[in-house]
Amino acid sequence: MNDNLKEIIKDESNRFFSDFNNHKLSNAVFYRIRNHNNENRKKPVKSDIGFNYAVISRISVILASFVLLIASAFLLSGKAIYKNDKDEMMGEPVSQQRINFSDSGFEDSWITFFKINKPDNVPQNNLLAVLWESGKNGDYQMAYSSMFENSSKPEPVRIIDFNDEQPSIAVISTKNPEKQYIHYRVIGYSDSRIIAFMEQDYVTGGEISVIDGVIKETRLLPENGFYENSGGHLHQVVTYYIPYQINKSGDIFTTVQNLKINKGDYIAVLGNENTPVETLNSNLLIDWEPENELNNYNMNTKYFRTENSGEEEIYIRPLNNSGQGKKISVLIQ
């Protein structure tokens, strides 16, 4: 094996394992050790090897029920489905991902992407993402679902871990490889319910990734502000979304303390719309209102644009209570 190939394999492996969270896993081990005599010891951090069989069986049943439910709904309304070829099938699962996403921190969740058409039966390559969570009885319940229009390729679900106290948030995205746009949802918990913190559709030239706890969104926007008359002149816009959550005492938690960005990039502070915050900053970060192309954005998201290099701090504090705020240092290169 030549050295170049070795380097590539090593680099790619390092990248793949870079989000390994030793702290979280070692906590899970200690949790099990300390609950040694507790009946619940096995449940939260299931390591029983037989577990997957049970999960798969249950999920198969749930998926079958889900498909039957959709079929029944259409038959009752006088419309038949499955009448044509496979392309027109509804509810066909195309991808399934097991994720660690729960407000209790340890239970399993799954995200299934179903290929699904609208009732007019026009093939569109729509995907329906369903988040399943294990219920109290060990069965699975639909906790969140969202439709991704005209996009055939589900992307890996990204999980952003907060501290031990706060639940994680997740980024679900799909892509249309031909037309080069993405849709994505940032979801999290609000009083034990899962809600969307932000929904974005048809993000042209879009890419979404999670880097050191921050969501990096890249999109192409027309130079003159209008796709129709842009003459193909598009420029790349990078926005870093800093996720935040507020605990019961009103204190703010973020996943990042230091952020390094390039001049011209955008920053946004993103959280649950029901827990608004205010932000304090100085001149380097300029308040910015997103335009129409950022449809479905969360009304409480704070956007900033950067025009000059330097160091800056953003202070985020709760709007409606006196809980502790959070300071984030930003280096603009």
Partner 1 sequence: MKVVKNISTDDIWYENKSDREKQLEYLMLRFGKKVYQLAYYYLRDRQQAEDIYQEVFLRVYENLDRFRQESNYYTWIYRITVNLCKDYFKSAAFRKIVSAGISNDFSKSWRESNKLFEEAEGGEVFSLVLDLPKKYRVPLCLHYIDDLSVSEIANILNISENNVKVRLYRGREKLKTLLSGRNNNE
Place of tokens 């988040």: 131
Site track for partner 1 across 52-91, x = CB under 8 A: xx--xx-xx--x----------------------------
Cα separation, 286 vs 172, whole angstroms: 29
**C-alpha distances in Å from residue 95, one per residue of 58, 110, 153, 158:** 17, 10, 9, 15
Q: Which two tokens stand for residue 185?
A: 């949802």
What is the rounded distance in angstroms from the CA atom of residue 52 to the CA atom of residue 46?
10
With CB under 8 A as the contact rule, the residue among 70, 89, 94, 211 that binds partner 1 is 94
96 binds partner 1 (CB under 8 A): yes
Q: Residues 83-93, buried b or exposed e (16+ Cβ, 10 A)?
A: eeeeeebbbee
- CA atoms within a 13 Å half-sphere pointing along the CA-CB vector of 25: 5
Nearer to partner 1, 108 or 251 (CB): 108
Residue 100 interacts with partner 1 (CB under 8 A)? yes
Q: Provide, rounded to whole angstroms, the least separation between the CB of residue 224 and partner 1.
A: 33
CA 52 from centroid of its chain's CA atoms: 24
Q: Determine the residue type at 100.
A: N
What is the total count of residues that contact partner 1 (CB under 8 A)?
46
Q: Which of 17, 37, 76, 283 binds partner 1 (CB under 8 A)?
A: 17
- Tell me: does residue 28 bind partner 1 (CB under 8 A): yes
Ranges within 108-167 binding partner 1 (CB under 8 A): 108, 154-156
Q: Is 252 in the site for partner 1 (CB under 8 A)?
A: no
Q: Does 299 bind partner 1 (CB under 8 A)?
A: no
Instruction: Encode 276-299: b = buried (16+ Cβ within 10 Å), e = exposed.
Output: bbebebeebbeeeeeeebbeebbe
Smallest separation, CB 190 to partner 1 (Å): 25
By CB under 8 A, tell whether 29 contacts partner 1: yes
Shortest spacing between CB 75 and partner 1, in angstroms = 23
Beta bridge partners, 124, equal none
Of the candidate spans 46-54, 180-188, 225-233, 245-253, the one that interacts with partner 1 by CB under 8 A turns out to be 46-54
Q: Is 271 in the site for partner 1 (CB under 8 A)?
A: no
Give the whole-angstrom CA distance, residue 182 versus residue 150: 10
| Alpha-carbon distance values, 242 to 9, 186, 266, 328 (Å) | 31, 12, 11, 9
Among 47, 137, 283, 292, the residue binding partner 1 under the rule CB under 8 A is 47
CB atoms within 10 A of CB 148: 26
Q: Which is nearer to partner 1, 43 or 98 (CB)?
A: 98
Bridge-based pairing of strands 169-176 and 153-154 is: antiparallel
Amino acid at position 43, single letter: K
Query: Given candidates 35, 74, 93, 234, which one binds partner 1 under the rule CB under 8 A?
Result: 93
Please report whether residue 97 would count as binding partner 1 according to CB under 8 A: yes
Q: Which residues bind partner 1 (CB under 8 A)?
A: 1, 5-6, 8-13, 15-17, 19-20, 22, 25-26, 28-30, 32-33, 45-47, 49-53, 56-57, 59-60, 63, 93-98, 100, 108, 154-156
